[in-house]
Structure 1
Amino acid sequence: MKRLILFFFAQLFIGFFVSCKAENQVSIKIMNENSNPISGHKLKIKVGDKVFTATLLDNATSKAFVAQLPLTIKMNELNNNEKFASLPQNVPTNATVPSSIQAGDLMMYGSSTLVLFYRGFSTSYSYTKIGKIDDVTGLVAALGTDDVTVSFEL
């Protein structure tokens, strides 16, 4: 009888351990899809004669965005902190409310609006992250205060 009870508790413990391990793997997969860079994929962002390099995230949104490159678009000024433009094709999204926006963040608002932030701030809006400019030095000056033409390429 003791063996049967011990066997039962051993099976219960193993089942619990395997379940916890599976949940952790799912969490890791979700984190990787939304926050890990795509290996070797750097994005060139050209504004006038200034070139910025961005690291792309490994998610479905970034991959769909990359499929539309190269892309040269007129980006509109908004709120003295961002430039935005509609993409030629919608992309899949997984929007969340970020804890804060940082200068250099490249995100999607909805499934068709690309947003390049050049100043940081707090927000209650939902975005899907695509990537981030590696070094934002000169970004504010390059983008200016008006609408601007921006090129994106690998």
Structure 2
Amino acid sequence: MLGGSEASPPSGLAAVAEDAAAASVKLGESLMWMTVGERRFAITLADSAAARAFAAQLPLALDMNELNGNEKHAELPGALPTDASRPGTIRSGDLLLYGSGTLVIFYETFRSSYSYTRLGRVDDPSDLAQALGRREVRVVFSKD
């Protein structure tokens, strides 16, 4: 151990409680919310630098524009780190980053050759297309 006094590791029930608390914090950090009108969707964030940088910008309200009948997109206030890849199939509920500054939420499943950085995914996208509609829409992203 560098500097300070040496502490013994927790044992028994204390270790279990500490592990549960750490898991709870990790789970809480990987979950965020997306609100569209009266609808609220849980999003599980990817374990990546880009997703952590996105979460650091929250809360965030964006006027998202319609594109191609399958997605909404908006420019973020700041660039995010990228690790782009071609997913092949985009799924309804995918929250992706195009380039380093365009947030995209997809509400239809389709094949694509474009490259994106994965930020997360809507846990239950069953009503996502209806909530987003086919027009510009204000979307609020928040940690709680």
Instruction: Output the TM-score relative to the length of structure 2.
Output: 0.79
Where 1:140 maps in the other structure, the secondary structure is helix
Residue 86 of structure 1 pairs with residue 75 of structure 2? yes
1:103 CA displacement: 0.1
Partner of 2:101: 112
Counterpart selection for 1:121 from 110, 117, 126 = 110
Give CA-to-partner distance per residue, 1:70-128, whole Å, 9 cap, x none.
00010000000000000000000000000210000000000000000000100010000
RMSD of equivalent CA atoms: 0.8
SS state at 2:50 partner: helix
What displacement does 1:138 show?
Answer: 1.2
Asked if residue 141 in structure 1 is aligned to residue 109 in structure 2, the reply is no
Mean Cα deviation higher: 114-123 or 40-49: 40-49
3-state SS, counterpart of residue 39 of structure 1:
helix
**Residue identity opposite 2:74 in structure 1:** A
| Aligned positions, number | 117
Aligned-residue sequence identity (percent) comes to 50
2:16 matches 1:39: no
| Structure 2: stretches of 5+ with no match in the other structure | 1-25
Paired with 2:88 and 2:65, the residues of 1 have a C-alpha distance of: 24
Q: CA deviation at 1:39?
A: 3.0
Aligned counterparts of 1:140 and 1:97: Cα–Cα separation in 2: 23
- Using the size of structure 1 for normalisation, the TM-score is 0.74
CA distance in 2, matches of 1:39, 1:49: 25
User: 2:123 is matched by which residue type in structure 1?
Assistant: D
Larger relative helix fraction: 1
Confirm whether residue 57 of structure 1 aligns to residue 69 of structure 2.
no
Q: Tell me, which stretches of 5 or more residues in structure 1 are unaligned?
A: 1-37
